[in-house]
Amino acid sequence: MTAPIPEAADVAADDTTRPPALELRHLTKSFKVGSESFGRASRVKAVDDVSLQIESGTTLGLVGESGSGKSTIARLVCRLLTPDSGQVLVDGVDVAEGRRRSKAYARKVQIVFQDPTASLNPRWKVRRTIAEGIRAHKLRPRDEIDARVRELVDLVGLPENSLDRYPHEFSGGQRQRIAIARALAVEPEVLVLDEPVSALDVSIQAQILVLLQNLQDLTGLTYLLIAHDLAVVQRFCDRVAVMRTGEIVESGDPSIIHSNPQHPYTKALVEAHPVPDPHRRGAWGIKSSTNGQGSVA
């Protein structure tokens, strides 16, 4: 099995000298809303002066309600959107310089979208979908591409006979595996996961998260995980940042945010999280260390 990124072991060694795998500096993006011809056009700041750092091989969870700007950040990081101002640095280098979307940048940062039904080309068989990235970046000689595709399919836990099937022949979880394999095919350093499990059944969510965890252990990938499910974030992330109306209101260790949220919005978010066990309502999460506040959402 070929690890896309070989430095998994090195990461810990030179952690101090190494620049963060992904760094956002004062990132700002606004959108025009309303119609100009009716004179009501105005600009809404979707992302307002956001700065973030993610160490190599770790996972940062970005949480917040809909419209808080999480997905805009995902798109900015992947250069699907151009920021109004600010920088996105990968390994300390601003790859955005020059062309809007360069191939070199695409090599380093890849994205897995929320809905694998929409993110896979329905006309392409799995083999072609995965191979396309390898071919586009000329990562393997022509005759080795197929072997590499098989390797990736195996890596994400799909049966080998998946290769000659179309996306619609798979279940949601399997499709997300295809999408992950497609992203890994380019051998990126940073993987942006834009709500990768929220379109899936709860039982499938765990499988995909475990897969992502294993891939990170194996390859030292850096994840930016966009989510609105606090339980997912707590289980999965090394650090958490909470967003609201385009700004980061709080960030830190996931358990600290949980047990002692500072910002009122974080508190509201935590309290809004439904807890299946009535005896633990008001506490948060699955591995809850109940603080006895007992506030009912």
Partner 1 sequence: MTKFVLKRLAHTVIVLLGVSVMVFFLIRYLPGDPVDLMFDGGDDEATAEAIAAGREAFAEGRGLSGSLPSQYFNFLGEISRGDLGTSLFRNVSVTTLIRQTLPLTFQLAVAGQLVNMLLSFPLGMLGAAKQNSIWDRGGTALALIGTAMPNFWQGIMLILVFAVWIPIFPVSGVMDLGIDLREVTHIPVVDAVITGNWAALKSLMMHLALPAITLGASASLVRILRSSLLEVKHQDFMDAYRARGVRERSVTLHMLRNALPTTVVIFGIRLGTIISGSVVIETVFAYQGMGWLLINGINQRDYPLVQGIVLTFTVFTALASLLTDIVHGWLDPRVKVTSSA
Segment contacting partner 1 (CB under 8 A): 38-46, 96-104, 212-220, 268-276? 96-104
CB of 289 to partner 1, least distance (A): 37
Residue 196 touches partner 1, criterion: CB under 8 A? no
x/- track of binding to partner 1 for residues 99-118 (CB under 8 A): --xxxxxxx-xxx-xxx--x
Strand order in the sheet with 85-90: 42-54, 22-33, 85-90, 93-94
Angle between helices 202-219 and 172-184 (to 10 degrees): 20
3-state secondary structure of 294: coil
Q: Which listed range, 48-56, 62-70, 129-137, 222-230, lies at the site for partner 1 (CB under 8 A)?
A: 129-137
**Dihedral of CA 219/17/191/199: which sign?**
positive
Cβ nearer to partner 1, comparing 95 with 249: 95
Q: How far is the CB of 276 from partner 1 (least distance, A)?
A: 31
Our finding on whether 137 is near partner 1 (CB under 8 A) is yes
Q: Which 3 state secondary structure label does DSSP give 1?
A: coil
Task: Specify whether the CB–CB gap between 164 and 113 falls below 8 A.
Answer: no
Please say which residue, 54 or 131, places its beta carbon nearer to partner 1.
Answer: 131
How many C-beta atoms lie closer than 10 Å to residue 110's C-beta?
24
Residues in touch with partner 1 (CB under 8 A): 75, 78-80, 101-107, 109-111, 113-115, 118-123, 132-133, 136-137, 166, 168, 179, 182, 186
